[in-house]
Each structure stands twice: as structure tokens, then as C-alpha cells.
């Protein structure tokens, strides 16, 4: 099955690296026009150039989504550039590791990036999206099971799981679907600091039935499927892509 996103437009946050960049590229490869959102202008430009070099149509939105009004500006920019909005992907995320009694670990920081920002942007975008559109949140297996040393992160991803179910009910009147994609252990810049520990990686491999750490290329196709018309009867759910990690 080949998924064709021609004529569709997508807005992808956290698109300057990792899973967000991979999803943006995959959407462009499927024919969608893509607005990529990120804070780092150099990295954002590099991803935009990669998409252009592969024949895709892309616009850049350099913004810190934690700033007041940033979500609205990003949505307005995408609409102005491509004239419509069919897909919204919330790939921006913050992952901080530390024991619960470590005062440097902030639930508020991670909540703002992982929950509040995507909720706010969905509020701004929903009524402006085309019927048949799709909103995709990036969840995590940390929203399904607990991880020692990541309690704040787990709290935010658990919230995403239930937020998606509730938003799907509200968005249905707009004929917009809302789902989550929950990756397992995937090599990205966001978690390279933990996977750099050989003992940690060994533990993760032991718990992964498929016996390997995931790659962005394992996640992006699943995202494209969920936001495409091929998944037009799927809403309010979370697709786990984790090599079998949560099957234990």
C-alpha cells in the first residue's frame, strides 16, 4: 500500500531533529506540503534543505512554542503559506532524567512542552483544519508504564494518552481525528544521553523482544499512516511502536 498525501498540508513541531524531522521528511516524501517548526534556525534550515533536495515542498517557522502567542503564529504561518491545514503533528518534546528528589528535575518544564504547548496549538488549529484532517501527538511507552528516574516525564506522557482520547471526542464534530503515536526506545538526539550508557542500552535490549533499539525510520511511516486517509476510521487511540517492549 502506497500512501499518497498529495494536496495535503502538514504542520510538524519539533521538526529540526529526531522523530519530528523524520516525520516531516516522510510526509513530504508522500506528497504533502510541510511547515516545519523549531527553535534552532541552523538545524531547521538543514532539514528544510533535505526536504527540498528530495523534491518536497517545505516552509520554515522558527519559533519557541513556549512563548505567548507562538502556537497561533505557527498555525497562521502554515495557513498563509499553503492555504490550508490538513495535518498537525506534535513532535516537540522534552525528556529530563533524574531521581524524584533531584530539585533540578522540573515537572512544570516538561509539562509545558509535552502537554500544554500541543494542547494550546490544537485549540488554535482545530476550527481552521480541513474536514478529514488529523492531529497526531507523540506519546511514549513512558505513558503506558513507569520508568524509574523519569517520573515527571512519565506524568506528561500519561497525560497525553488520555488527552488524546478526550480531544478525539471534541474534534469529531469538526471531522478531525486525534491520535497518538507511542514510540519505544528510539535513537534520537533527545535520548542519546541515556543510550550512551552501555549498561542502560543493554537493559533496554534485554527487554525488547525484537532485540534492537528503534530508529526514526521505524517511527515515521507509522505516523504517516495515522494521519493519512488510510486511517480515516481511527481516532482516540495510541499506536505503540516499541519492538514489543510493552508486550511483557
Q: Which helix (H) or strand (E) segment is 72 a member of?
A: helix 70-82
Task: State the Cα–Cα distance between residues 84 and 131, nearest whole angstrom.
Answer: 11
185, 208 Cβ separation under 8 angstroms: yes
Strands 87-90 and 134-138, how do they pair? parallel
Task: State the Cα–Cα distance between residues 67 and 131, nearest whole angstrom.
Answer: 29
119: buried, middle or exposed (CB in 10 Å: 19+, 13-18, 0-12)?
A: middle
60, 47 Cβ separation under 8 angstroms: no
Q: What's the grid cell of residue 37?
A: 517548526
14, 93 Cβ separation under 8 angstroms: yes
Catalytic residue ranges: 153
Torsion, Cα of 216, 217, 221, 227 (10° steps): 20
Give which of 94, 93, 82, 95 is closest to 27, Cα–Cα: 82
Q: Which residue has the cell 480541513?
A: 130
Helix (H, G, I), strand (E, B) or coil at 74: helix
Amino acid at each position: 500500500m502506497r500512501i499518497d498525501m498529495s494536496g495535503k498540508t502538514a504542520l510538524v513541531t519539533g521538526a529540526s531533529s529526531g522523530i519530528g524531522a523524520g516525520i516531516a521528511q516522510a510526509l513530504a516524501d508522500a506528497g504533502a506540503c510541510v511547515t516545519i517548526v523549531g527553535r534552532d534556525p541552523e538545524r531547521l534550515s538543514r532539514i528544510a534543505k533535505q526536504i527540498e533536495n528530495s523534491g518536497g515542498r517545505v516552509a520554515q517557522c522558527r519559533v519557541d512554542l513556549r512563548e505567548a502567542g507562538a502556537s497561533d503564529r505557527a498555525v497562521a504561518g502554515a495557513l498563509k503559506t499553503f492555504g490550508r491545514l490538513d495535518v498537525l503533528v506534535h513532535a516537540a518534546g522534552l525528556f529530563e532524567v533524574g531521581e524524584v528528589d533531584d530539585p533540578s528535575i522540573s515537572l512544570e518544564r516538561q509539562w509545558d512542552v509535552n502537554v500544554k504547548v500541543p494542547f494550546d496549538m490544537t485549540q488554535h488549529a482545530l476550527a481552521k483544519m480541513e474536514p478529514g484532517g488529523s492531529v497526531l501527538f507523540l506519546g511514549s511507552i513512558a505513558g503506558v508504564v513507569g520508568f524509574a528516574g523519569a517520573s515527571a516525564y512519565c506524568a506528561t506522557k500519561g497525560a497525553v494518552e488520555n488527552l488524546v482520547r478526550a480531544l478525539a471526542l471534541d474534534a469529531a464534530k469538526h471531522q478531525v481525528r486525534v491520535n497518538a503515536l507511542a514510540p519505544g526506545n528510539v535513537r534520537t538526539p533527545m535520548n542519546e544521553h541515556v543510550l550512551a550508557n552501555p549498561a542502560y542500552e543493554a537493559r533496554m535490549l534485554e527487554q525488547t523482544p525484537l532485540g534492537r533499539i528503534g530508529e526514526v525510520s521505524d517511527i515515521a511511516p507509522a505516523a504517516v499512516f495515522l494521519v493519512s486517509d488510510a486511517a480515516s476510521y481511527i481516532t482516540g487511540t495510541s499506536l505503540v511502536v516499541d519492538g514489543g517492549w510493552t508486550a511483557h
